[in-house]
Copies of this chain bind each other. A is one copy, B any other.
């Protein structure tokens, strides 16, 4: 992923959509297709996105010859799994408001880790229906939750731009901790300076 946003999703009962992952610039989409034959989810872009493709054969050849590279990509898979686990906890044990707040927190931190801007604004070309399918709630309810977040002055939510007004309150609502994102590498902390 070079720019833009991609999401993974599944259809349940051949009608209800659940978004299972969000990819931000810097992420690697669908590594598993190198070694696992069957696709188990669909990938789509949220608005315009720039994506680089790698030929599988060449990629496999490189990985076979470099344990270091394999390890690096394997690590990428571990982070993906850790995020999935957090989403499971999010969907299973938080109510809608906390759930949505948690998604925003995660995206903010992941984007800050890439941008290094320290900004509290997110430009994501998603609709409230997309957000609903991330959070496992209905579109109507997603709208009400967005309004609740606006009303409590935690954030602004113009159609496509989210401006976080009160990071502490947001993480409080979301019960958010960025531990699972594994952003601290080799003793250095990739995000603390921006978040602080």
Contacts and interface: CB of A to CB of B under 8 A. Distances in A.
A41 interface: yes
A79 B77 CA distance: 11
A85 B37 contact: no
A4 to B, nearest CB: 21
Majority-rule SS of A interface residues: helix
A36 interface: yes
Interface in A1-44: 8, 10, 12-13, 16-18, 20-21, 31-32, 35-38, 40-41
A11 to B, nearest CB: 8
Contact of A18 (B18, B64, B88, B136): B88
B40 A92 contact: no
